[in-house]
Each structure stands twice: as C-alpha cells, then as structure tokens.
Chains A and B, each alone.
Chain A
Amino acid sequence: MKQAGIKVLIVDDEVALANTLAQRLKMRDLQVETVYNGEEALSRLMQEEPDVMVLDLRMPGMQGMEVLKEVKKTHSHIQVIILTGHGTDKEEEEAKMLGGFGFLKKPADIETLADKIKDAFREKCTRTP
C-alpha cells in the first residue's frame, strides 16, 4: 500500500490552517486538496473522490455534521476524520453514529493526524475490494 496514493481532502473554513495542514501532510507523502466550506467539499466529491476527508465541524454555511451525513449517504466508502476545536463527547458520539472514522481535537499533533489518515485509508481498503 503506497502512502503517496492516499488522497486527502481537508475541509476547514480556517484557510491558513487548512493550507498549512495540507502542506505538512504533503511533506508526509499524502495527496492533499483543500476546500473551505461544506458545499464546496460536496461539489469537489463529484469531480474527484478522496480516500479520506479531514472535516471541521463548525463552519459558516453547511455544518460539519451535515457534510458527514451527506458524504456517508452518497460516498459511504470515503473515510471521514473529524478535526474540531469544539470537541465534546456528545459530538464525538454523534460523529461515530454517522459513520465518522476518527475524532481529533484542535490543535492536533501532525503525526497523530497522519497516522489516523493512514488507518482510515487501510479501513477503506478493507471495505472496498
């Protein structure tokens, strides 16, 4: 399994954060794209399907939970990792219920995130033959 092949889509309204994260993950041999809101994320799915989505919860417009719900409805094999500044148990549980793969709190350690993405990719591979 080649890491360079893992396609990651970062969805976060904080442009600076999304871009920096993307840059760092790229340095860790991941293919990373960034979008800055939920609607954009869903339309991007239509063009190119990522393996793993790193999703913020609180965003202007469409909220992270709604995006997760939509993604799981249309592209259930895409693994979604929630990366939020407002991590509560309730939200973590909700995300799990909706089929989210992981739940990380900002600020997160880059290695932890990278590992989680790899785990998610592995999970995706086991599910899709």
Chain B
Amino acid sequence: MKNILKDLRHPRDLFSISATDPYKSLKIRVILLDAILSLIPLFIVVTTSYFWFQSILKEDYRSQIKWQIENTKQSLDFFIEERVSGLRFIASAFTYEQLSDRKTLANVFLKFKREVSGLVDIGIIDANGIQQAYVGPYKLEGKDYSNQDWFDEVTVKNVYVSDVFMGYRKLPHFAIAVKRELPEQGTFWILRATIDVETLSKFASAMNLGNKDDAFLINKEGVIQTPSRFHGNVLEKLSFPLPGSQQGATVQEITDSSDACTICGYAELKHSPWVLVAMIQSAPYLKIPRIFKNELFFITIISIIVGIIVVTRIANTLVNRIQEAEKEREDAIAQSEHASKLASVGRLASGVAHEINNPLAIINEKAGLMKDILEASEDQSKSREKFIGLINSIFDSVSRCRTITHRLLGFSRRMDTAHELFDMNDAIREVLGFLEKEILFRNIRLDLVLAEDLPRVMSDRGQVQQVLLNIFNNALDALLEEKEGTITIKTTVNDQKIKVSVSDNGHGIPKDKLKKIFEPFYTTKEKGKGTGLGLFISYGIIKRLGGNILVESEATKGTKFTIEIPTTSTSE
C-alpha cells in the first residue's frame, strides 16, 4: 500500500510543473546574496575595530612610556638638584678658611657622602682656579683649573654640572661645581664635587624595562653618558640623531631596516646637560592585540555561523513561500483551465450531439428500412442473411455513437445541480443494486465497510450516484478473469467531509497512464467498451459539488479511487 501511496495523483498534479531545480538554484542565490550583504559589513566592522583597537593600545602604551620617562626625568632632576643644593648649603654654611682646612673638609666630605650616594671627592678652588684643599682618592691639591672651560662657566653661571668623563681610574664620572661670592671682598671661591655615574645608571634600570629594551643618558652632542645595553659604550656617539628638544617627554616610532618597530622616548633634564633616552623594542602592544585577535576571530566565526544559519533559514522560508505561491498560482491556472475545458466541452457537447444525432438517426432509419425490406421479402438466399448481418453491424456502430452523444448531452445537462439531503451509504447501496447481478454472476467478492455514524450530505444525489456508478463500473472492468476479484467500498467521515474509497485488485493503471485518466476521451478500455468520458465527467461533477477525486494505483496490483464530498456542499 505504501508503494501505491507513492503514486497518489490528484487531478491538479497533472498540471503542476516540477520545479525543484530552479528553486534550489534560487535558494542558493538568495543565500549567497544575503550572506554577502550581511558578512561584508561584519568584515568591515571586524577589520575596523581590529585596527582601531590596535591604535588605541599603541597610543595607550606610548603615553605609558611617556609617563615613565617623565617620572624618571623628574627623579634624575631631583637627584642632580639635591647634590647641587647640598654643595650650595656647604658653601654657604662654611667659610673659605674653614673649608681650606683639610681636616674640616674631610669631615664635611664624610658627612656629605653619608647623605648623598656616589660622591667620589670634594675640593675647594680659589678665584684663581687653584685647588686649595681636596679630599678624595687622588692627590689633586694645588691643581690649577683656571684654563678649563668649566671654571669659566661656573664663574659666570654660579652652578655647573659637567658631562661624563673618564676619571683617573678609568671610571665614568661627572662633576658638580658651585660658586660662593664674597661681594664685600670682591672675590669668590668654588666648591667642586665628583660623582660616580653608576648612581645615575640605577635610575634608568628602575624604569622596569624588558630584556630587549634600553635606557640611558646622552649629552646634547649625542655622546652616551651612562652604560647602554645595545646602543654603544659610554662616551661613544649615538648611532642615530634625535630630533630637537621639546618641552617634556617626546615619544616616537623608529622602524629600522629589519622592519622591527622600536619606540623611542626621550626627555631633556632640567639641571644638567643630559637627555634621558629610552628605546623600547619588546613592543608589548603587539601582544595584546593577539589576545584581542583571538576573541575577535572567535566572535567573527560565531557571527558567520549564526549569520549563515539565519540567512539559510530566511532563504528557505522565502523560497518555500515563493514555491507555495507559485504552486498555488499554477494550481489555480490548472483548475481554471480545467473548468473552462469543462465549460467548453459542455457547450460543444450540446451542439455536436444535435448535429451528430440527426445524421445518426438517418443512418439508423435507412439501415432499419433496409432490414425491414429484407425481412419482409420472400427471398431465402444466403445473401439476405449476410445483408441482415451487415445491417446489424451498422446498428452496433450507431449504438456506439449514440452512447457517446448521449453521454455528452448528459454531461452538459449536469452543469446544473440540484441539492438534497441524503445518506451516502444508502446512495451507495442503491447504485450497487444495479450491479448486483454482474457481481453475483462474475463471482466477485464485495467488501462493504460503511461507517454507521455518517452524517447526511447536502449535495446532488443523482450526480453523486452517477459518479459512484462510473467508478464501480470501472472497478468491475478492471478485475481480471484469472484472479479472484475483490472490490472494497469504504466510507469515512473526517473534518466535514465524507470520503468514499473504492479499491479493486484488478490490473491497475501504469504510472504514465495515471496522468491522463481525467482527460476527456482518454480510455484504457477495449475499443467500444469505454467512451473516455466517464472520469472526465465524474471529475467535473465532483469539482462542481466542492469535492475532490483522488486516485492511487499500481500496475498489476490494483486501483483505489477516493471521492471527498463536503457534508454541506456548495456547488462551484
């Protein structure tokens, strides 16, 4: 039975066009277009936010570096200022005479060294540039500084901080000198201290730099003042120039030949001739986007998947709706085509029937007259019998023609319907009454499965019975001689519709022929047995009564016709 169901045909299926492929390609096109339309903005947003986030991080990191440089610069400024202030205090607290005493100076040196780290030596120099007293690791008492540049500078500016220089021990140092004016005597003296550079280096390392980073001091000529990891030794010239000094710290990017990006930050110190330089190569801001990149990638993939699912669903719904609408339209066209076919056949039928019936009647009467004459004659020859036989075959043909014209007339006549309330089971039994003898004679098994609680139907009883008779006759004709014939008639009620199904175990209808059975003048019966109008007319009648007629069939296994009649039928 399942196989039979596969072949379920409805008359409207005859006119529907199989359109799976065009809809599939439409679906694919809609999905692609929708996907492109929705994914392009997604990619734009993702790319934009990626670069935007990167630039924010870069900016953030640059300001972080700037802030660190400024902090370190301030510490260095404070460091220098502290030492300058210390020397100034000593110069103002003691007289030239007191400090010229080596013991007093040594005492001051020790105390001062305890307060400030990195102090190497201290000396007092008179207005002539001669070092009068000195406490430190060298014998520099009596050294004449009058020819040195720093002596002139401290004379003019009162304070002097030197560049880094290599001392006698080949260690980098720098010197601070302060001038003490003695206005009433019209003279001055200078207090000079040397400080170890190592103390300065500590500030740079306090910047919390990474392995590949570097921070150091240079002087205004670009000579390295404190030890650098990667950019040369102390007192060597820096390999690249730095742009002119600005207020506060400056941060800029330097891209070298190997495309490695380096952030270079620098700031000029306030009380010394130095510039603090920080070279940051680890560029951690590139690492942070990688985390962000992963999240972005994850979100993008999720968005694409969700997008594709949504787009596919939308496309499915859309195309299904289009397909349904198209099918409904095709069905409507098919139905109206069929209805107009019915109407034109109806109109044609009455005309044709009249035109054909008259000449047919003449043939009938002329042949009849011939027969009458022959029968009345005394002639007993063989040819008389032969003629009578020939005339009888004319009668047979006339009778066949009459069957067709009368059915056509019957069809056009049934364009008008008359409704009455009747019991479907009774109507079936009544029709079966006509066929009782044939069923008995041919030894056919008839199974009646009639629902007892069937509601009465408001429809055209005569027309319904005509359809039933036609279908019962078809079932009888389909039964084979060699097999025990069974016809099952079943009635059911479902959703305000009465279903009458008529199944037989006859020869069935092949798939290719199933499509044509509702077409006019189509018959599978032997010549002379069928007019090809029965199912065509039945279909027209059932449709007019607001019902449906369905057929399921499998060749050699049998056929099942189902008629659906609404309980309150309104004719179309």
Measuring CB to CB, which residues of chain A are less than 8 angstroms from any residue of chain B? 14, 16-17, 20-21, 23-24, 27, 58, 84-90, 105-108, 110
Contacts and interface: CB of A to CB of B under 8 A. Distances in A.
Interface residues of B, number: 25
Contacts of A58: 354
Contact of A21 (B365, B409, B416): B365
27 contacts: A14-B361, A14-B362, A16-B362, A17-B361, A20-B362, A20-B366, A23-B369, A24-B365, A24-B368, A24-B369, A85-B353, A85-B355, A85-B358, A85-B361, A86-B350, A86-B409, A88-B413, A90-B413, A105-B357, A106-B358, A107-B360, A107-B361, A107-B363, A107-B402, A108-B361, A108-B364, A110-B365
- Give me the 6 closest cross-chain CB pairs, A-B, nearest first: A85-B357, A107-B364, A106-B361, A107-B361, A20-B365, A86-B354
B461 to A, nearest CB: 14
A14 B413 contact: no
B376 interface: yes
A18 to B, nearest CB: 9
Contact of B360 (A21, A24, A87, A106): A106
B524 to A, nearest CB: 28
A107 B365 contact: yes
Contact of A17 (B356, B358, B398): B358
Interface in B465-506: none
Contacts of A21: 365
A110 B368 contact: yes
A17 B402 CA distance: 16
Contacts of B543: none
Interface string B368-398: 1100100010000000000000000000001
B412 interface: yes
Given A17-B365, A107-B361, A110-B368, A89 B354 contact: no
A85 to B, nearest CB: 3
B357 A24 contact: no
A105 B357 CA distance: 8
A29 to B, nearest CB: 12
B88 interface: no
Contacts of B9: none
Contacts of B364: 106-108
Main SS class of interface, B? helix
Contacts of A14: 358, 361-362
Contacts of B372: 24, 27, 110
A88 B412 contact: yes
B232 to A, nearest CB: 122
A110 B409 CA distance: 21
B413 A107 contact: no
A20 B368 CA distance: 9
Nearest to A92: B413
A86 B357 CA distance: 8
A107 B412 contact: no
B406 interface: yes
A27 B358 contact: no
Contacts of B376: 27
Contacts of B412: 88
B293 to A, nearest CB: 87
Interface in B318-365: 350, 353-358, 360-365
Contacts of A89: 413
B368 A88 contact: no
A36 B366 CA distance: 18
A17 B362 contact: yes
B357 to A, nearest CB: 3
Contact of A86 (B353, B368, B402): B353
Given A27-B376, A105-B406, A107-B360, A85 B354 contact: yes
A37 to B, nearest CB: 15
A20 B372 CA distance: 11
Contacts of A84: 357
Nearest to A16: B362
Contacts of A17: 358, 361-362, 365
B197 to A, nearest CB: 130
B350 A88 contact: yes
B414 to A, nearest CB: 9
Nearest to B405: A85
Given A85-B360, A86-B357, 13 more contacts: A17-B365, A21-B365, A24-B372, A27-B376, A85-B353, A85-B355, A86-B409, A105-B406, A105-B409, A106-B360, A107-B361, A107-B402, A108-B361
Nearest to B414: A89
A77 to B, nearest CB: 28
A47 to B, nearest CB: 26
Contacts of B409: 86-88, 105
B359 to A, nearest CB: 8
Nearest to B399: A107
Contacts of A106: 357-358, 360-361, 364
A107 B398 contact: yes
B4 to A, nearest CB: 38
B9 to A, nearest CB: 32
Nearest to B412: A88
Contacts of A23: 369
A89 B372 CA distance: 32
Contacts of B402: 105, 107
Interface in B106-156: none
A26 to B, nearest CB: 10
A84 B402 CA distance: 13
Contacts of B362: 14, 16-17, 20
A67 B12 CA distance: 47
Interface in B391-433: 398, 402, 406, 409, 412-413, 416
Contacts of A90: 413, 416
Contacts of B353: 85-86
Interface string B75-95: 000000000000000000000
